[in-house]
Amino acid sequence: MRVVVFSTKPHDRDFLPAACAGRHELVFQEAHLRVDTVPLAAGAEAVCLFVHDHADAAILIGLAKLGVKHLALRCAGFNNVDLAAAAKLGLSVARVPAYSPHGVAEHAVALLMTLNRRIHRAYNRVRDGNFALDGLLGFNVHGKTVGIVGTGKIGLCFARILHGFGAKLLAHDLVPNPEAGQLGVEYVALDRLLAESDIISLHCPLTPATHHLIGPAALARMRTGVYLLNTGRGPLVDTAAVIEALKSGKLGALALDVYEEEEGIFYEDLSAAFVPDDLLARLLTFPNVLVTSHQAFFTREALTSIATTTAGNLDDFAAGRACANSLKP
């Protein structure tokens, strides 16, 4: 089966062919799927999409006219796909529901510890011959209160790691996870979590209810000096609001692996140009802000899992089998 892979990066060329093992003809395109790039899918029965590809109704109509029948998402999120339009057009959609809970959770902890112990600053200092400790003071995570918003697979992994640190764990989730309870996690209302946590980590999905979950009102409820981590979805955080909180000292530190306007910036090399987003550029001027480019998932294990699951989803479609990872409106 011919499959056009949009938003191709070098690792896709390594992992996807190995997982497909010659069962599908993969055509790699570096372009994102947009209205103007739909013609690149000509002759394909399926397209393979990533987080920054667009699949709204107009694009899906264009794909259907070209004979595309299946969308294989090599990611967990699917808010970029109009599932109702896909169903109406007879396009099946499948995703990779979970591929790196440990990797994302470990990355969140790495961001926390880098900011807390000023590892990034220490690294640069000693390379310049500066071995002074001034400005590198951190704190023990042991005994601190850590608030976890969202205790699905990633949030649970994060809880397990912080439990090992000896932190007190609070959590907020519409559906409490019994496994989290076994770690001593206490489920509380969001307002209490915000008010009592020294560290807050976001692991919840993006929905209309969670858009800008962390905005002026939420920030006002937090302790002064709180550390905020977001490895979930960019729009969970109101960027303008956290900039004001950083300026006032309300936020002690901010770590982001996602950004609400990351499309066209993250995964791109802009080192010879400039950051075209004024809010992101302002964030990058703070010494207590750490931003990574949506790389929390980026481990060998995760890429293997993504490729293997995507190949399996393609196999199911090609064989006319029901797919456990299919998405419905």
Mark whether 262 is an active-site residue.
yes
Q: Cα–Cα distance between 130 and 225 in angstroms, integer?
A: 27
For 149, phi and psi rounded to 5 degrees? -100, 105
CA distance 254 to 283: 9
| DSSP string for 240-306 | HHHHHHHHHTSEEEEEES--TT-TTTTTS--TTS----HHHHHHTT-TTEEE--S-TT-SHHHHHHH
Q: 4 and 30 in contact (C-beta within 8 Å)?
A: no
Q: Determine the Cα–Cα distance for residues 19 and 24; give it in Å rounded to an integer.
A: 10
Encoded tokens for 271: 């080192």
Residue in 127, 262, 263, 321 annotated catalytic: 262
Determine the longest span between alpha carbons in the chain, in angstroms: 65
Angle, vertex CA 110, rays to CA 118 and CA 273, nearest 5: 75
- Pick from 33, 30, 5, 31: which is nearest to 19 by CA? 5
Per the residue annotation, which of 233, 260, 268, 301 is the catalytic one?
233
Active site residue 233: yes
Q: Tell me which residues are annotated as active site.
A: 233, 262
